[in-house]
C-alpha cells in the first residue's frame, strides 16, 4: 500500500490504472476507494500469459473505447 500512497501523492489518480488479481476492490483502504481499479478474477487458475492478455484487453478497452 505504501507504493500506492506514494504514487497518489505524486500523480493524478486518473492517470493510475490498477489491476487487482484475485483481490476485490472492497478490500482497498478508504483512501483508494475512488481509484480506477479493475478486478481480474483468477478462479480458473489462469496462466500468467492469460492474465496479462486479460489486463491488456481491459486496459485498451478503457483507454480506447472502440477497441
Residue 49 to residue 63: CA distance in whole angstroms: 21
* The three grid cell numbers given for residue 7, joined into one nine-digit string: 504514487
Phi/psi for 21 (5° steps) reads -95, 110
pLDDT digits (tens, 9 = 90+) for 5-32: 788 788 877 777 888 888 888 877 776 6
Question: Could you tell me the pLDDT band of residue 49, with boundaries at 50, 70 and 90?
Answer: very high
How would you write the chain as a 3-class SS string? CHHHHHHHHHCCHHHCCEEEECCCHHHCCHHHCCCCEEEECCCCCCCHHHHHHHHHHHHHHHHCCCC
- Stated pTM of the model: 0.67
Amino acid at each position: 500500500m505504501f507504493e500506492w500512497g506514494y504514487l497518489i501523492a505524486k500523480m493524478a489518480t486518473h492517470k493510475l490504472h490498477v489491476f487487482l488479481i484475485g483481490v476485490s476492490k472492497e478490500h482497498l483502504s478508504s483512501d483508494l476507494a475512488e481509484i480506477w481499479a479493475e478486478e481480474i478474477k483468477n478462479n480458473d487458475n489462469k496462466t500468467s500469459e492469460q492474465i496479462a492478455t486479460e489486463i491488456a484487453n481491459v486496459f485498451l478497452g478503457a483507454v480506447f473505447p472502440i477497441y
